[in-house]
Amino acid sequence: MPARPSASRDAAIALLSKLRILYSPEPVEFTRRGERKVIAATVQSMCGLGHIVRTVREEAQSRGGASPKRSRDRDGITLSPNSGYGDSFPGTVFHAATPAPLSISTPTIRAPGVWQARDWSDSGCRLRGRAADLNDVVPGSLMCIREHSDAAWIVSIVRRLRRLMVDHVEISLEFIGRKPRFIKLVTAGDPLAPADDPASKRRTYGAIYLPLSEKRPTLPIKTMVVPVAVFGEGRVVTLVSSEARYTLRFNKALEHHADFVWTTFTLSAKR
């Protein structure tokens, strides 16, 4: 489905803001929400929404293979009608029937990268390592990290990049959520479009859901990280679950970047 003009404009503005931070003659300072402690540790990483969606989905499927009930208990998302925050009913999204091809732009999964953590706080961290492609870690990029293979993924946004030498860089991350969960979002086709027009067909997108969190980082609301192509403030989409379908409406974006949108949502119906 072609991107709407407003989405293209927002993406261009997001890209320019990235370039301003990257090429600013003076370092851009960011206010930290937590005191950072100096550490020396190794973390695993995954860059880009496409890679993160695929990895989270496959890890959830591998965990769910042993016991369906246990998988529901561990991996189910909790939503609630009208607000998305109150009394809840569970739903799992890892074995949903796909009404249309799943749109994830990344064709293959890369093995998790390895970075050296230099400092850490409840709100973010500073990493050093080798970046094969600087486009993966420019300010505004999405990145998941974890301390080891059994730890929960922490979803982050790159806030600062400093090139040390050749392909070795130092990056600063801000945490936006932990324990991401794979979800499928279905968009309605345009009923006025001709039958042979791609816009007339429903599209299914992979995205990630970030639940409430009282741990690092503290997140008092439920949010989603979705592809730019699916987002629109006020747009109504369907979240497909193995047990039900949820109709939800996107609220105003918390952050809008070139390849992803971090947003809250309002759940209006379950069927």
Alpha-carbon torsion, ordered 25, 31, 35, 36, to 10 deg: -30
**pLDDT tens per residue, range 22-54:** 667 776 665 555 566 777 789 999 999 999 999
Q: How many Cα atoms within 13 Å fall on the side-chain side of residue 7?
A: 16
- What is the band of 65 on the pLDDT scale with cuts at 50, 70, 90? low
Note the pLDDT of residue 7. Answer: 58
Rounded Cα gap, residues 156 and 210, in angstroms: 11
Note the pLDDT of residue 213. Answer: 73
Counts of helices then strands in the chain (DSSP H, E): 3, 15
**pLDDT tens per residue, range 91-136:** 333 333 344 445 444 444 456 688 999 999 888 999 999 887 888 8
Give exposure, 43-62, as e/b (b: 16+ Cβ within 10 Å): bbbbbbbbbbbbbbbebbee
**pLDDT tens per residue, range 125-181:** 999 998 878 888 999 999 999 998 889 999 999 999 998 887 789 999 999 999 999
Rg (CA), the chain: 19
Rounded Cα gap, residues 123 and 177, in angstroms: 10
| Owner of token pair 């994830």 | 104
Rounded Cα gap, residues 63 and 191, in angstroms: 39
- Cβ-based neighbour number of residue 69 at 10 Å: 8
Is the model's pLDDT at 269 over the cut of 50?
A: yes
- More confident: 18 or 263: 263
The reported pTM is 0.71
Give, in degrees to the nearest 5, the angle at Cα 9 between 263 and 133: 75
H or E segment and range at residue 124: strand 124-130
